[in-house]
Copies of this chain bind each other. A is one copy, B any other.
Amino acid sequence: MDQQRSEHPNLVRPLRCIVKLGGAAVTCKNDLEKINEAHLEMVATQLRQVMISGSSSSEIPGMDWSKRSGKLEISLNVDEFRDQELLEPSSFIVVHGAGSFGHFQASQSGVHKGGLERPLVKAGFVATRISVSTLNLEVVRALAREGLPSIGISPFSCGWSTREKNIASANLSTVTKALDSGFIPVLHGDAVLDELQGCTILSGDVIIRHLAEHLKPDYVVFLTDVFGVYDRPPTEPDAVLLKEIAVREDGSWSVVKPPLEDRHVEWTVAAHDTTGGMETKISEAAIIAKLGIDVYIVKAATTHSVRALSGDLKGNIPDDWLGTAIRFAG
Protein backbone atom coordinates (compact mmCIF):
# COMPACT_ATOMS: atom_id res chain seq x y z
CA MET A 1 0.00 0.00 0.00
CA ASP A 2 2.66 2.48 1.04
CA GLN A 3 4.67 1.08 -1.80
CA GLN A 4 1.94 1.97 -4.30
CA ARG A 5 1.57 5.42 -2.89
CA SER A 6 5.29 5.89 -3.43
CA GLU A 7 4.79 5.14 -7.12
CA HIS A 8 2.02 7.74 -7.44
CA PRO A 9 2.73 10.25 -4.71
CA ASN A 10 0.12 13.00 -4.69
CA LEU A 11 1.65 15.96 -2.92
CA VAL A 12 -0.74 18.52 -1.47
CA ARG A 13 1.75 21.27 -2.35
CA PRO A 14 3.84 20.95 -5.52
CA LEU A 15 7.53 20.37 -4.86
CA ARG A 16 9.51 23.48 -5.75
CA CYS A 17 13.09 22.28 -5.54
CA ILE A 18 15.40 19.44 -4.58
CA VAL A 19 18.78 20.66 -3.31
CA LYS A 20 21.89 18.53 -3.21
CA LEU A 21 24.26 19.70 -0.51
CA GLY A 22 27.56 18.38 -1.79
CA GLY A 23 29.67 16.82 0.91
CA ALA A 24 32.62 18.88 -0.29
CA ALA A 25 30.55 22.07 0.13
CA VAL A 26 29.65 21.60 3.82
CA THR A 27 32.50 19.51 5.18
CA CYS A 28 36.26 19.91 5.18
CA LYS A 29 36.95 17.27 2.54
CA ASN A 30 40.47 16.48 3.70
CA ASP A 31 39.83 16.77 7.44
CA LEU A 32 38.18 13.62 8.76
CA GLU A 33 34.62 14.20 10.03
CA LYS A 34 35.01 17.96 10.17
CA ILE A 35 32.11 20.22 9.21
CA ASN A 36 32.75 23.47 7.38
CA GLU A 37 30.67 25.45 9.90
CA ALA A 38 30.96 28.76 8.05
CA HIS A 39 29.85 27.27 4.72
CA LEU A 40 27.06 25.21 6.27
CA GLU A 41 25.72 28.28 8.08
CA MET A 42 25.82 30.36 4.90
CA VAL A 43 24.09 27.62 2.92
CA ALA A 44 21.37 27.41 5.59
CA THR A 45 20.90 31.19 5.49
CA GLN A 46 20.55 31.17 1.69
CA LEU A 47 18.04 28.31 1.87
CA ARG A 48 15.99 30.25 4.42
CA GLN A 49 16.06 33.36 2.22
CA VAL A 50 14.68 31.51 -0.81
CA MET A 51 12.26 29.20 1.05
CA ILE A 52 10.75 31.93 3.20
CA SER A 53 11.04 34.75 0.72
CA GLY A 54 12.12 38.10 2.06
CA SER A 55 12.69 36.69 5.55
CA SER A 56 15.45 37.91 7.82
CA SER A 57 16.92 35.63 10.47
CA SER A 58 15.92 38.15 13.16
CA GLU A 59 12.20 37.60 12.64
CA ILE A 60 12.30 33.82 12.51
CA PRO A 61 12.89 32.00 15.80
CA GLY A 62 15.25 29.02 15.70
CA MET A 63 14.05 25.40 15.93
CA ASP A 64 17.19 23.80 17.31
CA TRP A 65 16.66 23.83 21.07
CA SER A 66 19.59 21.58 21.81
CA LYS A 67 22.63 22.49 23.82
CA ARG A 68 25.40 23.79 21.56
CA SER A 69 28.77 22.30 22.32
CA GLY A 70 30.52 24.45 24.89
CA LYS A 71 27.23 26.08 26.00
CA LEU A 72 25.63 25.04 29.28
CA GLU A 73 22.11 26.27 28.73
CA ILE A 74 19.53 26.02 25.98
CA SER A 75 18.50 29.41 24.66
CA LEU A 76 14.76 29.24 24.11
CA ASN A 77 12.27 32.06 24.42
CA VAL A 78 8.86 30.47 24.01
CA ASP A 79 7.27 33.93 23.77
CA GLU A 80 9.05 34.46 20.45
CA PHE A 81 6.48 32.06 19.00
CA ARG A 82 3.39 33.52 20.69
CA ASP A 83 2.47 36.20 18.15
CA GLN A 84 4.27 34.47 15.29
CA GLU A 85 2.11 33.49 12.33
CA LEU A 86 3.08 30.22 10.69
CA LEU A 87 5.54 30.91 7.89
CA GLU A 88 5.11 28.01 5.47
CA PRO A 89 8.42 27.64 3.69
CA SER A 90 7.99 26.66 0.04
CA SER A 91 8.33 22.96 -0.58
CA PHE A 92 11.98 21.86 -0.68
CA ILE A 93 13.83 18.58 -0.18
CA VAL A 94 17.47 18.65 0.92
CA VAL A 95 19.78 15.72 0.17
CA HIS A 96 23.37 15.85 1.32
CA GLY A 97 26.45 13.85 0.49
CA ALA A 98 29.04 12.55 2.88
CA GLY A 99 32.15 14.62 2.26
CA SER A 100 34.61 13.74 4.99
CA PHE A 101 31.91 11.74 6.81
CA GLY A 102 31.27 8.14 5.82
CA HIS A 103 33.70 7.87 2.92
CA PHE A 104 36.55 6.80 5.17
CA GLN A 105 34.48 4.10 6.87
CA ALA A 106 32.99 2.91 3.58
CA SER A 107 36.27 2.73 1.67
CA GLN A 108 38.17 1.06 4.52
CA SER A 109 35.59 -1.73 4.68
CA GLY A 110 34.37 -1.92 1.09
CA VAL A 111 30.69 -1.56 2.07
CA HIS A 112 29.94 -0.47 -1.51
CA LYS A 113 31.16 -3.85 -2.78
CA GLY A 114 28.80 -5.76 -0.49
CA GLY A 115 29.35 -8.96 1.49
CA LEU A 116 27.69 -8.52 4.88
CA GLU A 117 28.86 -12.01 5.86
CA ARG A 118 32.37 -10.57 6.21
CA PRO A 119 33.02 -9.07 9.66
CA LEU A 120 34.90 -6.08 8.21
CA VAL A 121 32.06 -5.20 5.84
CA LYS A 122 29.42 -5.61 8.53
CA ALA A 123 31.39 -3.38 10.92
CA GLY A 124 31.98 -0.89 8.11
CA PHE A 125 28.24 -0.78 7.41
CA VAL A 126 27.57 0.13 11.04
CA ALA A 127 30.48 2.61 11.15
CA THR A 128 29.40 4.28 7.88
CA ARG A 129 25.81 4.74 9.08
CA ILE A 130 27.06 6.25 12.34
CA SER A 131 29.25 8.72 10.47
CA VAL A 132 26.68 9.86 7.89
CA SER A 133 23.98 10.06 10.58
CA THR A 134 26.25 12.38 12.54
CA LEU A 135 26.55 14.69 9.53
CA ASN A 136 22.80 14.49 8.84
CA LEU A 137 22.05 15.61 12.40
CA GLU A 138 24.39 18.60 12.01
CA VAL A 139 22.80 19.62 8.69
CA VAL A 140 19.31 19.33 10.19
CA ARG A 141 20.40 21.43 13.18
CA ALA A 142 21.97 24.10 10.96
CA LEU A 143 18.72 24.47 8.98
CA ALA A 144 16.63 24.43 12.17
CA ARG A 145 18.74 27.21 13.69
CA GLU A 146 17.70 29.32 10.67
CA GLY A 147 14.06 28.61 11.50
CA LEU A 148 13.58 25.99 8.78
CA PRO A 149 11.42 23.00 9.91
CA SER A 150 13.94 20.38 8.85
CA ILE A 151 13.41 16.67 9.50
CA GLY A 152 16.20 14.13 9.16
CA ILE A 153 15.17 11.05 7.17
CA SER A 154 17.64 8.20 6.59
CA PRO A 155 17.13 6.17 3.41
CA PHE A 156 17.95 3.01 5.34
CA SER A 157 15.28 3.77 7.96
CA CYS A 158 12.77 4.48 5.18
CA GLY A 159 13.40 0.93 4.06
CA TRP A 160 15.11 1.97 0.84
CA SER A 161 17.10 -0.88 -0.67
CA THR A 162 19.00 -1.48 -3.88
CA ARG A 163 19.55 -4.20 -6.46
CA GLU A 164 23.03 -3.99 -7.97
CA LYS A 165 23.26 -0.41 -6.65
CA ASN A 166 20.07 0.68 -8.45
CA ILE A 167 17.14 1.52 -6.21
CA ALA A 168 15.01 -1.62 -5.83
CA SER A 169 12.49 -0.32 -3.31
CA ALA A 170 12.10 3.21 -2.05
CA ASN A 171 8.99 3.97 -0.10
CA LEU A 172 8.40 7.70 -0.56
CA SER A 173 5.47 7.99 1.84
CA THR A 174 7.56 9.30 4.76
CA VAL A 175 9.04 11.99 2.53
CA THR A 176 5.68 13.01 1.04
CA LYS A 177 3.94 13.03 4.45
CA ALA A 178 6.72 15.22 5.84
CA LEU A 179 6.42 17.61 2.87
CA ASP A 180 2.64 17.78 3.16
CA SER A 181 2.99 18.61 6.86
CA GLY A 182 5.18 21.57 5.91
CA PHE A 183 8.51 20.03 6.91
CA ILE A 184 11.74 19.98 4.92
CA PRO A 185 12.96 16.39 4.56
CA VAL A 186 16.74 16.13 4.85
CA LEU A 187 18.00 12.87 3.31
CA HIS A 188 21.56 11.71 2.79
CA GLY A 189 23.78 9.22 1.05
CA ASP A 190 23.54 6.09 3.17
CA ALA A 191 24.64 2.49 3.58
CA VAL A 192 21.68 0.32 2.57
CA LEU A 193 20.82 -3.34 2.01
CA ASP A 194 21.29 -4.65 -1.53
CA GLU A 195 19.17 -7.57 -2.74
CA LEU A 196 22.05 -9.15 -4.64
CA GLN A 197 25.32 -8.18 -2.97
CA GLY A 198 23.96 -7.80 0.57
CA CYS A 199 24.74 -4.13 1.01
CA THR A 200 26.07 -1.09 -0.78
CA ILE A 201 26.32 2.69 -0.64
CA LEU A 202 23.30 4.57 -1.98
CA SER A 203 24.68 7.90 -3.16
CA GLY A 204 22.92 11.22 -2.68
CA ASP A 205 22.91 11.71 -6.45
CA VAL A 206 21.01 8.48 -7.09
CA ILE A 207 18.55 9.45 -4.32
CA ILE A 208 17.96 12.81 -6.02
CA ARG A 209 17.32 11.22 -9.40
CA HIS A 210 14.74 8.90 -7.81
CA LEU A 211 13.04 11.74 -5.91
CA ALA A 212 12.99 13.93 -9.04
CA GLU A 213 11.45 11.17 -11.17
CA HIS A 214 8.64 10.57 -8.69
CA LEU A 215 8.04 13.98 -7.10
CA LYS A 216 8.66 16.19 -10.17
CA PRO A 217 10.24 19.32 -8.67
CA ASP A 218 10.37 22.57 -10.66
CA TYR A 219 14.16 22.45 -10.61
CA VAL A 220 17.12 20.74 -8.96
CA VAL A 221 20.22 22.45 -7.58
CA PHE A 222 23.55 20.78 -6.87
CA LEU A 223 25.59 22.87 -4.43
CA THR A 224 29.25 21.99 -4.74
CA ASP A 225 32.70 23.41 -3.95
CA VAL A 226 33.56 24.52 -7.49
CA PHE A 227 31.73 26.93 -9.82
CA GLY A 228 30.26 24.09 -11.85
CA VAL A 229 31.32 21.43 -14.32
CA TYR A 230 34.58 22.02 -16.18
CA ASP A 231 35.91 20.30 -19.28
CA ARG A 232 38.91 19.11 -17.25
CA PRO A 233 40.07 19.26 -13.60
CA PRO A 234 39.27 22.84 -12.49
CA THR A 235 42.72 22.99 -10.95
CA GLU A 236 44.21 23.04 -14.46
CA PRO A 237 44.84 26.61 -15.69
CA ASP A 238 43.02 26.22 -19.02
CA ALA A 239 39.98 24.42 -17.58
CA VAL A 240 36.77 25.81 -19.12
CA LEU A 241 33.52 26.11 -17.12
CA LEU A 242 30.69 24.43 -19.05
CA LYS A 243 27.83 26.93 -18.59
CA GLU A 244 25.07 25.13 -20.43
CA ILE A 245 24.62 21.48 -21.31
CA ALA A 246 21.75 20.31 -23.53
CA VAL A 247 20.26 16.85 -23.03
CA ARG A 248 18.56 15.16 -25.97
CA GLU A 249 15.65 12.73 -26.08
CA ASP A 250 18.00 9.75 -26.36
CA GLY A 251 19.74 10.84 -23.14
CA SER A 252 22.91 11.95 -24.89
CA TRP A 253 24.15 15.42 -23.98
CA SER A 254 26.40 18.10 -25.43
CA VAL A 255 27.87 21.39 -24.33
CA VAL A 256 25.97 24.40 -25.72
CA LYS A 257 27.80 27.20 -23.94
CA PRO A 258 30.65 27.98 -24.34
CA PRO A 259 31.41 26.58 -27.82
CA LEU A 260 34.21 24.04 -27.24
CA GLU A 261 35.25 23.27 -30.80
CA ASP A 262 36.96 19.87 -30.61
CA ARG A 263 38.30 20.20 -27.11
CA HIS A 264 38.48 16.78 -25.47
CA VAL A 265 36.55 16.62 -22.19
CA GLU A 266 38.18 14.80 -19.26
CA TRP A 267 36.50 13.74 -16.02
CA THR A 268 38.00 13.34 -12.58
CA VAL A 269 36.88 10.95 -9.89
CA ALA A 270 38.34 11.55 -6.45
CA ALA A 271 40.19 8.43 -5.36
CA HIS A 272 38.41 8.23 -1.97
CA ASP A 273 34.99 8.82 -3.52
CA THR A 274 33.09 5.53 -3.33
CA THR A 275 30.09 6.94 -5.16
CA GLY A 276 31.63 8.23 -8.37
CA GLY A 277 32.56 11.79 -9.18
CA MET A 278 31.67 14.39 -11.79
CA GLU A 279 30.79 11.89 -14.49
CA THR A 280 28.19 10.22 -12.25
CA LYS A 281 26.89 13.68 -11.42
CA ILE A 282 26.44 14.65 -15.09
CA SER A 283 24.76 11.42 -16.11
CA GLU A 284 22.43 11.60 -13.09
CA ALA A 285 21.73 15.25 -13.93
CA ALA A 286 21.08 14.38 -17.59
CA ILE A 287 18.45 11.83 -16.58
CA ILE A 288 16.73 14.48 -14.45
CA ALA A 289 16.94 17.10 -17.22
CA LYS A 290 15.36 14.60 -19.63
CA LEU A 291 12.22 14.85 -17.46
CA GLY A 292 12.06 18.54 -18.33
CA ILE A 293 13.48 19.54 -14.94
CA ASP A 294 16.31 22.09 -15.06
CA VAL A 295 19.42 21.13 -13.13
CA TYR A 296 21.89 23.72 -11.86
CA ILE A 297 25.35 22.80 -10.60
CA VAL A 298 26.74 25.78 -8.73
CA LYS A 299 29.27 26.78 -6.07
CA ALA A 300 27.70 26.78 -2.59
CA ALA A 301 27.42 29.95 -0.50
CA THR A 302 27.90 32.38 -3.41
CA THR A 303 25.63 34.93 -5.09
CA HIS A 304 25.40 32.39 -7.92
CA SER A 305 23.95 29.71 -5.63
CA VAL A 306 21.23 32.06 -4.33
CA ARG A 307 20.15 32.81 -7.90
CA ALA A 308 20.03 29.09 -8.72
CA LEU A 309 18.13 28.24 -5.53
CA SER A 310 15.60 31.03 -6.10
CA GLY A 311 14.62 29.52 -9.45
CA ASP A 312 15.21 32.80 -11.30
CA LEU A 313 17.35 31.00 -13.86
CA LYS A 314 14.46 28.95 -15.20
CA GLY A 315 13.66 31.49 -17.90
CA ASN A 316 17.09 32.42 -19.16
CA ILE A 317 20.60 32.30 -17.78
CA PRO A 318 22.30 35.68 -17.35
CA ASP A 319 25.84 35.94 -18.69
CA ASP A 320 27.22 37.00 -15.31
CA TRP A 321 25.92 33.82 -13.64
CA LEU A 322 28.67 31.30 -12.90
CA GLY A 323 27.55 27.70 -12.87
CA THR A 324 26.44 24.82 -15.09
CA ALA A 325 22.86 24.55 -16.27
CA ILE A 326 21.73 21.20 -17.62
CA ARG A 327 18.41 21.26 -19.44
CA PHE A 328 16.31 19.31 -21.88
CA ALA A 329 16.80 20.32 -25.51
CA GLY A 330 13.77 18.37 -26.77
A157 touches B (CB below 8 Å)? yes
A15: min CB distance to chain B, Å: 18
A292 touches B (CB below 8 Å)? no
Q: Are A158 and B161 also in contact (CB < 8 A) when A4-B1, A122-B182, A131-B65 are? A: no
A53 touches B (CB below 8 Å)? no
CA distance A66 to B105 in the complex (A): 8
Q: Give this chain's copy count.
A: 2
Checking B67, B86, B141 against A33 with a beta-carbon cut-off of 8 angstroms, the contacting residue is B67
Binary contact track A170-213/B, C-beta < 8 Å → 1, others 0: 01011001000111000000000100001100000000000000
Residue of B nearest to A127 (CB): B65
Contacts of A67 in B (CB 8 A): 32-33
Whether A174 pairs with B149 at a CB distance below 8 angstroms is no
Interface residue count on the A side (C-beta < 8 Å): 70
A5: min CB distance to chain B, Å: 10
Whether A32 pairs with B74 at a CB distance below 8 angstroms is yes
CA distance A75 to B300 in the complex (A): 32
Checking B64, B130, B158, B181 against A144 with a beta-carbon cut-off of 8 angstroms, the contacting residue is B130
Contacts of A153 in B (CB 8 A): 156-157
Whether A130 pairs with B33 at a CB distance below 8 angstroms is no
Checking B158, B193, B198 against A158 with a beta-carbon cut-off of 8 angstroms, the contacting residue is B158
CA distance A117 to B182 in the complex (A): 9
CA distance A161 to B169 in the complex (A): 20
Residue of B nearest to A117 (CB): B86
A63 touches B (CB below 8 Å)? yes
Q: Are A182 and B81 also in contact (CB < 8 A) when A137-B133, A151-B129 are? A: no
A91 touches B (CB below 8 Å)? no
A287 touches B (CB below 8 Å)? no
Q: Are A66 and B131 also in contact (CB < 8 A) when A84-B119, A157-B157 are? A: yes
Binding site for B on A (CB under 8 A): 1-4, 32-33, 61-67, 73-74, 76, 78, 81-82, 84-87, 104-105, 108-109, 116-120, 122-127, 129-131, 133-134, 137, 140-141, 144, 147, 149-154, 156-159, 161, 169, 171, 173-174, 177, 181-183, 193, 198-199
